[in-house]
């Protein structure tokens, strides 16, 4: 288990650094009213996680270390949105539409409420 955690950590560190640098580059060179850097990172991450899942499946690569490094680590560090999208895709393709809609709705609504709650708590304490 320690080896897997270390492998995921390496992939996550590289993904996080790339997320930050990509986001900064896009924001600097393509300023818009919305966070374009984050949007682009999320879309690239979704494309990449879909490709990797399909590639590993098609090539019948069963070495879990590569999956830990690239999918869980790198894609997870690059953007957790890619994991969220892949999980919803799996729910939809397994004909679990109500569960997918519930997961999407709860993630967005509860995520926004959690940010609001965190900010509110920080204002009370700080």
Annotated binding residues, written as ranges, equal: 76, 79
Annotated binding site for Na(+): 76, 79
CA distance 3 to 110: 34
Name the residue with tokens 């999956």: 67
Nearest to 39 by CA among 27, 21, 53, 51: 27
65: Cβ–Cβ under 8 A, 6 or more apart, which residues?
3, 4, 7
């Amino acid at each position: 288990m320690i080896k897997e955690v270390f492998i995921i950590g390496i992939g996550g560190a590289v993904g996080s650094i790339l997320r930050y640098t990509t986001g900064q580059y896009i924001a600097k060179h393509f300023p818009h009213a919305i966070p374009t850097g984050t949007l682009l990172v999320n879309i690239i991450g979704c494309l990449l996680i879909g490709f990797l899942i399909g590639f590993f499946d098609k090539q019948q690569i069963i070495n879990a270390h590569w999956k830990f490094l690239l999918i869980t680590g790198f894609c997870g560090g690059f953007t957790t949105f890619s994991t969220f999208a892949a999980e919803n895709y799996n729910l939809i393709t397994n004909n679990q539409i109500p569960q997918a809609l519930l997961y999407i709705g709860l993630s967005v609504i509860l995520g926004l409420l959690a940010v609001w709650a965190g900010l509110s708590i920080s204002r009370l304490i700080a």
